[in-house]
Amino acid sequence: MRFGILGNAKIARTQVIPAMLQAGHTPVAIGSRGPKAPWADAPDMRWTDYAGVLADASVDAVYIALPNHLHAHWSVAALRAGKHVLCEKPYALTPEEAHAVRNAMQAAGRCFMEAFMVRHHPQWQWLASQPLGDIRHIQVVFNYDNRDADNIRNQAALGGGALWDIGCYGVFTGHWLMGRAPDAVALRTERHPVWGVDTTSDAVLRWHATDSQPSAHLQLAVSMQTSKSQSVYAVGTQGWAHLHAPFNPAHGDVTNGTQATATWAPTGGLHHEAITRQFAPANAYANMVSDFVHTATNHPGDGLRDSEAILQTLSALWASERSP
């Protein structure tokens, strides 16, 4: 498949464009606000603006790597231009934007997929398949330190802040493991006094008991002004599992030990009683591109998956926001 890229973002340059090439596909055009500025090892692409990518008849699909507040607008524009769309998360900031994306996707008969690359790493399939019994408790931690006022993640008007940028992964985790949206949510934020974004967000997501499952809850802690750290810890009625690098796993190299790992206690027990699992080298971005192309080619209407439900949960969290 031939790709056009909207946005000269770091994730496009260092991860997704190389993943396209690794997966056997071709980036043919890139739209940027600034002048042509290829990076080292950049593939040969036509440089233009955003509209120029959408008007390019050689482009089959568009990857959108723009600031969050532009995701829905340019996704709709690309779908209306007849392109399949792979868009960075979060693909929308409001239910109205999400509705517009769905309408455009259905009207165009094209595929839309949100780029939650983590779902394409084998550690997540492994986690969902473990015989832990009924999940009762999930802990998600995702932190990094970004104090640059000019960074888009620190600009409220651009959809910045910890919950949109990294908290969405915690919401994804709950939907992935529980298979449905939570029944109740609560959010506590600390906002920067000048920038206005939530630099730290803590949330609780709760699933009420059903006839077939007991209740469960997820505790989420994310921060953009804390030392780099991340983990997912899931506890069930029979055992527990812990992903050590759930959201930014190394592609993996067996020779130097950079492959993703997990700790697992299928029958319970303390940490020293657990088993360590090492995953084979995997490029989740390349897997994502391959899955996107397969879905666009064979089942374009299936691309949204749980993105709308995740956006609804994020919207519910914002509606419940309170300060410390």
Give the containing element (helix H, strand E) for 185. Answer: strand 184-191
Domain boundaries, the chain: 2-117+285-304, 122-281
Domain 122-281 class in CATH: alpha beta
2-117+285-304 adopts what CATH topology? Rossmann fold (3.40.50)
Contacts 24+ apart (CB under 8 A), 37-44: 37/8, 39/13, 42/13, 42/17, 43/17
Q: Provide the whole-model pTM.
A: 0.96
Distance CA 180, CA 182 (A): 7
Q: How confident is residue 225, by pLDDT bands cut at 50, 70 and 90?
A: very high
Q: What whole-number distance in Å separates Cα of residue 266 and Cα of residue 319?
A: 37
Confidence grade of residue 259 (pLDDT, cut at 50, 70, 90): confident
C-alpha–C-alpha distance, residues 266 and 269, integer Å: 9
CA 314 → CA 97, 200, 244, distances in Å? 13, 15, 24
Residue 285 has pLDDT above 70, yes or no: yes
pLDDT at 257: 63
**Mean local confidence (pLDDT), 47-51:** 97
Give the C-alpha separation, 102 to 114, whole Å.
Answer: 12
- The secondary structure of 242-282, three-state, reads EECCCCCCCCCCCCCCCCCEEEEECCCCCHHHCEEEECCCC
Q: Which of 198, 176, 303, 155 is nearest to 243 (CA)?
A: 176
Nearest to 114 by CA among 90, 135, 131: 90
Arithmetic mean of pLDDT, 162-173: 98
* Cα–Cα distance measured from residue 193 to residue 130, given in angstroms and rounded to the nearest whole number: 43
Identity at 22, one-letter amino acid code: Q
Contact 58, 29 (CB under 8 A): yes
